[in-house]
Structure 1
Amino acid sequence: MQRRKFLKAAGVGTVAAAAFPMPAIAQSNPQIKWRLTSSFPKSLDTIYGAAEVFSKAVAEATDNAFQVQVFAAGELLPGLQAMDAVSNGTVEMCHTAPYYYVGKDPTFAFGTAVPFGINSRMQNGWRYYGGGNELMNEFYKKYNIVGMPGGNTGAQMGGWFRKEIKSVDDFKGLKMRIGGFAGQVIAKLGAVPQQIAAGDIYPALEKGTIDAAEWVGPYDDEKLGFYKVAPYYYYPGWWEGGAMLEFFINSAKWAELPKNYQSLVQTAAGLANVHMQAKYDAVNPAALKRLASSGAILKPFPNEVMEACFGAANQLYDETNAKNPDFKKVYEALKAYRADQYLWFQISEYTNDTFMMIQQRKKTL
């Protein structure tokens, strides 16, 4: 792809790209080589692939002067150590889910998703135009990193369960692989959350080390084979209504980049952001059909469970706000934004989508 073709593609139809100035690439570009460690295995081509989209765009726009080599989880270091490696300067950047690091500070959760938060469309609005990028990067400074959106899964599924979930009582003692802040929510219902990297989930589920697991959605879940050992496939993933991935860059390395390269990095990240959800949206429907035909039993979480989780999440927010000023600052901003967004979406998206979904059920589409 030629530089002009890439820049044109990056700027058309993407809120992300439009949010940043297009780079003025000089005739003579400095030679720079970076390493990017991903939190994801190559087998998960969509979520891992966003880093490759980013790397390719940067290289092609600079005639290979700026090269970012992508390493899958486990090639340089374990996937859940990606942010630490960027923070301490072991690598220049990573592609990860910020909520993996809530053990360091729960504020990281806002970089990905929080229970009963906002959907992916709202995420982009908040990060690019609602002050979200500024708030998160103010927090990230404590860890010597600069962050920018690098993909979204869209609303996720609620995960795979060995046994049916009929009531809140079924969460008592349930060992579940679940990421981020949501683990603390289900713990309030008596569950035992586990944070396990993608490649280790299936063996744990197969051996009975865990009773349930969530990852992303049909396309990835089919690849990971969860339906073979846990038949009940629940929805929605209320803890990840729009799960954002991020590119983290070491602050010192970011400061060393020429301004035109910084602009290019932001544009390439925006391209990767759009690419990821576009692909998930394209491949999930067929994967869901295949899972259903393979024996997956699709079920919505009972309303009683949803209400209990919503209450537990709000309780946890109150508790965390009381002891963590960084968390409270971001939460209060997001809460106000969320209220306005759902006011708008129930007028626009909800009414249109609901009508069309009724037509789909009537088989008139």
Structure 2
Amino acid sequence: MTLQKLSKLVAVATLTVSTFAASYSVAADGKVYRLKMAETWNANFPIFGDAPREMARLAEEMSDGRLQITIDSANKHKAPFGVFDMVRSGQYDLGHSASYYWKGKVPNTLYFTTMPFGMTTPEQYGWFYYGGGQALSDKVYSPFGLRSFPGGNTGNQMGGWFQKEINSVDDLQGLKMRIPGFAGEVLAKLGASPTNIPSGELFTALERRTIDALEWVGPSLDLRMGFHKIAPYYYTGWHEPATELQFLVNERSFKRLPADLQTILRSAMKLSAYDMYIQSYHESAENWATMKKEFPNIEVKTFPDDVMKAMYKANEELLAEKAAADPLAKEILDSQAEYMAKARVWTNISDRAYLDSLDNLAD
């Protein structure tokens, strides 16, 4: 080995040791960073509330106690739909909610939760993490000093609980329904009256006929809410094929964290978000079996073809209007459409072809 090569190796080794020592010094400084999170859900709300608590647990464990997160539920801070403003102002460092709840404040936020007739959960995760979704989310949220990250997915949601059957497009006229996001705009275009109501008020609103119908999630959460007792018609989905909650992060709070804790926080959010998807899938499977066995009076319905076609047409028209009115909306919608077109080919070749082949075997 030449003296020149030996000198280079020593230099590299010295730099590596110095870098490790500096990192260890930061990690061992003993300082505890405490963050506060506001969630849209009430205390002990299952699945949705499990995700932020799992995130906080992981962050504390991975940081050896240096990163501690306390969570205030909606019944404490009293503002389930105020999370955006509370995190933006710095009253809270973090939030757990759903991006489409903020469409009245920032219209382009609604595209990051789910879209009618849109991507499935794996497709949506692929778009967000590898297809440009994160960069577009940053474009929307950064002007407000915020960042948004995936906060847990429900998978494909059911189309809702109805007190009366939907047999034609005419049955949507004047229908008062709790349904947020872009789907609410689609139904409004067809004559319905959409509204958004916090989870804790849903049963009472349906029972008192303040609303005629509602969509919440699916068997994973719907069954325990008791909607089947007052609305026997349970429709399959179209509006939220992959509903992603969000971790909302105050940018100033995030930048105050050392680099290693920033990485730990992001890792904890990502892992707990995916875990919520798995938990939701499991609970839906379990509760669907319970529902079919214990509540046979629930009538599972699919919207008639003419209703589905009308909703699809209204959706396409609204997408075109949004894209024409706002360049950033167009950029987001074009990105989603291009990615879905590419990913759906693989979805059809893999999952759909496999499931279809099993159906043929059963026949």
TM-score by length of 1: 0.89
* Mapped contact 1:163–1:232 kept (Cα < 8 A): yes
Cα separation, 2, equivalents of 1:353 and 1:30: 53
Bigger shift: 47-56 or 295-304? 295-304
SS in 2 for 1:46: coil
SS in 1 for 2:355: helix
Cα separation, 2, equivalents of 1:358 and 1:150: 37
| 1:282 and 2:282 are equivalent in the alignment | yes
Letter in 2 for 1:245: L
Q: Which residue of 1 aligns with 2:254?
A: 254
Cα separation, 2, equivalents of 1:160 and 1:112: 21
Cα separation, 2, equivalents of 1:70 and 1:298: 37
Cα 1:331–1:33 shift into 2, 3 Å: same
Q: Which residue of 2 aligns with 1:83?
A: 84
Cα separation, 2, equivalents of 1:75 and 1:356: 49
Cα separation, 2, equivalents of 1:120 and 1:329: 21
Letter in 2 for 1:346: N
* Mapped contact 2:121–2:155 kept (Cα < 8 A): yes
How far off is 1:74 after superposition? 2.3
Q: Which residue of 1 aligns with 2:115?
A: 114
Q: Which residue of 2 aligns with 1:152?
A: 153
Q: Which residue of 2 aligns with 1:239?
A: 239
* Mapped contact 1:106–1:181 kept (Cα < 8 A): no
Q: How many residues align?
A: 338
How far off is 1:353 after superposition? 2.1
Q: Which residue of 2 aligns with 1:330?
A: 332
Letter in 2 for 1:291: M
Q: Which residue of 2 aligns with 1:6?
A: none
SS in 2 for 1:173: coil
How far off is 1:29 after superposition? 4.3
* Mapped contact 1:160–1:226 kept (Cα < 8 A): yes
| 1:270 and 2:254 are equivalent in the alignment | no
Structure ID, larger Rg: 2
Task: Give the 5 Å matches for 1:295-310.
Answer: 295-310=297-312
Instruction: Please list the CA deviations of residues 54-99 of structure 1 after superposition, one character each: whole Å capped at 9, or x if unmatched.
Output: 0000111122221001122221232111111111111001011000
* Mapped contact 2:220–2:281 kept (Cα < 8 A): no
* Mapped contact 1:120–1:155 kept (Cα < 8 A): yes
Q: Which residue of 1 aligns with 2:98?
A: 97
Q: Which residue of 2 aligns with 1:211?
A: 212
* Mapped contact 1:44–1:220 kept (Cα < 8 A): no
Cα separation, 2, equivalents of 1:122 and 1:42: 31
Cα 1:321–1:224 shift into 2, 3 Å: same
Q: Which residue of 2 aligns with 1:49?
A: 50
SS in 2 for 1:41: coil
SS in 1 for 2:190: coil
Q: Which residue of 2 aligns with 1:4?
A: none
SS in 2 for 1:298: strand
How far off is 1:233 after superposition? 0.3
* Mapped contact 2:63–2:264 kept (Cα < 8 A): no
Cα 1:357–1:69 shift into 2, 3 Å: farther
Letter in 2 for 1:264: I
Cα separation, 2, equivalents of 1:44 and 1:325: 38
Cα separation, 2, equivalents of 1:94 and 1:355: 43
How far off is 1:28 after superposition? 3.0
Letter in 2 for 1:347: I
How far off is 1:186 after superposition? 0.4
TM-score by length of 2: 0.90
* Mapped contact 1:29–1:62 kept (Cα < 8 A): no
SS in 2 for 1:328: helix
SS in 2 for 1:163: coil
Cα separation, 2, equivalents of 1:105 and 1:136: 12
* Mapped contact 1:44–1:223 kept (Cα < 8 A): no
Cα separation, 2, equivalents of 1:51 and 1:308: 38
SS in 2 for 1:54: helix
How far off is 1:277 after superposition? 0.9
Q: CA RMSD in A?
A: 1.6
Cα 1:356–1:73 shift into 2, 3 Å: farther
SS in 1 for 2:82: helix
For structure 1, list consecutive stretches of 5 or more residues without a partner in the other structure.
1-22
